Structure 1
Amino acid sequence: MPSSLIRYLIVPGWHGSPVDHWQSHWQRTLPNSARVEQADWLTPRREDWVARLNAAIAADGCPTILIAHSLGCVTVAHWAEQAPRHLLGRVRGALLVAPADVERPDCPEPLRNFAPLPRQTMPFPSQLIGSDNDPAATAARALQLAVDWGAEASILSGVGHINVKSGHQRWEQGFAWLYRLQVQIDEQARRRA
């Protein structure tokens, strides 16, 4: 699938993605890219975040690949569970990086309204990238989310939350998973043809 036909929609997590975050770098690098902007990055409300994602998808009729991080992954899962069919059809796939386990005992209070986590399979191909030392979700939890959401999972070793704090400003290696997702999307399209 030529990238000129695809819109890449960046879905940041809690606190947004600052200019030195890999999502911001990818937005500057990928053609036809945009970002979901939330009204409140510090005290997120699930309904508001899902509505903003819905509006961003509705605003452009192009086929879209979602690139989500942390709480953004959870937002995508909630959106996919309740989105109108015509908007679900615009999303070709999702790259879900370091999903936040909002049900964990030490989950920060502002994120708890995103629980319970959706258990429904997403109706589009997805790749979930987790870490074996992510404070926001254990490797086992990330794998369970991948099963629940119907995503292909990869657990990386020692990469933390895959954010600026863990040394992932540009995260060029992540493009390999984006490419893998695009191959998965193309294969699914060929099977349906």
Structure 2
Amino acid sequence: MSGQKLNVLVLPGYQNSGVGHWQTRWEALDPAFVRVQMSDWDRVARDEWCRTLDAAVAAADSPVVFAAHSLGCLTTAFWASQYASAAQLAKVAGALLVAVPDPSGSHFPPDASGFAPVPLTRLPFASIVVASSDDPYGGVPFSQSCASAWGSRWIDIGPRGHINADSGLADWDEGRRWLATLGERR
């Protein structure tokens, strides 16, 4: 990333990220990537996830970037807009927000509560929203509106589903390059 050590906080979504998921693969490739462990990956409560993220940022001994997927993206947006202190926000260099799900969509997990309405305020750190043109959990118009409101760069990677293990991305080098640009801005 840059000359300064950065912690990469990996924020999976509903049901966690399994073995073939790019988040899990990134963790295996680099010890700077640390998963934020939620107490329950199947019954998601916004308040608990945001407080867990807050504790992870507080525990970081150097600046952080987020590598978020799905509900991890919404957790990041809620944390930044409603939970984080100015001191906590100052520790964040940026966020890669991949496959933002739409809480009003028909495929949104029924065991996830408190994620609507999505905060549409500018994020106080650099961010990139990555979307797939055929994501069943969040369409292009939804991800574009989030990116616009959050002040994020928006990238469409074409038809890749929910940008998860089933998307065939392997180590997803392109995503890591985008993440690295966020760390360089600090």
Would you call these one fold, judging by a TM-score over 0.5?
yes
Match of residue 23 from structure 2 = 23
Q: Measure how far apart 1:53 and its partner are.
A: 0.4
Match of residue 135 from structure 2 = 134
Rounded to whole Å, the distance in 2 between the matches of 1:62 and 1:39 is 24
Match of residue 112 from structure 2 = 111
- State percent identity of aligned pairs: 37
Rounded to whole Å, the distance in 1 between the matches of 2:73 and 2:128 is 11
Answer whether contact 1:67 1:94 (CA < 8 A) is retained: yes
Q: Measure how far apart 1:105 and its partner are.
A: 4.1
Query: Whose helix proportion is higher, 1 or 2?
Result: 1
Match of residue 169 from structure 2 = 168
Q: Measure how far apart 1:36 and its partner are.
A: 0.4
Moved over 4 A (4+): none
Q: Measure how far apart 1:179 and its partner are.
A: 3.0
SS in 2 for 1:181: helix
Rounded to whole Å, the distance in 2 between the matches of 1:135 and 1:111 is 16
Q: Which deviations, in whole Å up to 9, do the C-alpha atoms of 1:130-155 show, x marking residues without a partner? A: 01110111111111010111100001
1:44 partner amino acid = V
Match of residue 60 from structure 2 = 60
Match of residue 75 from structure 2 = 75
Q: Which deviations, in whole Å up to 9, do the C-alpha atoms of 1:23-80 show, x marking residues without a partner? A: 0111122342211000000010000000110011111231001110000000000000
Answer whether contact 1:22 1:163 (CA < 8 A) is retained: yes
Rounded to whole Å, the distance in 1 between the matches of 2:181 and 2:81 is 24
- Provide the TM-score with structure 1 as the length reference: 0.89
Match of residue 146 from structure 1 = 147
Match of residue 160 from structure 2 = 159
- Provide the TM-score with structure 2 as the length reference: 0.93
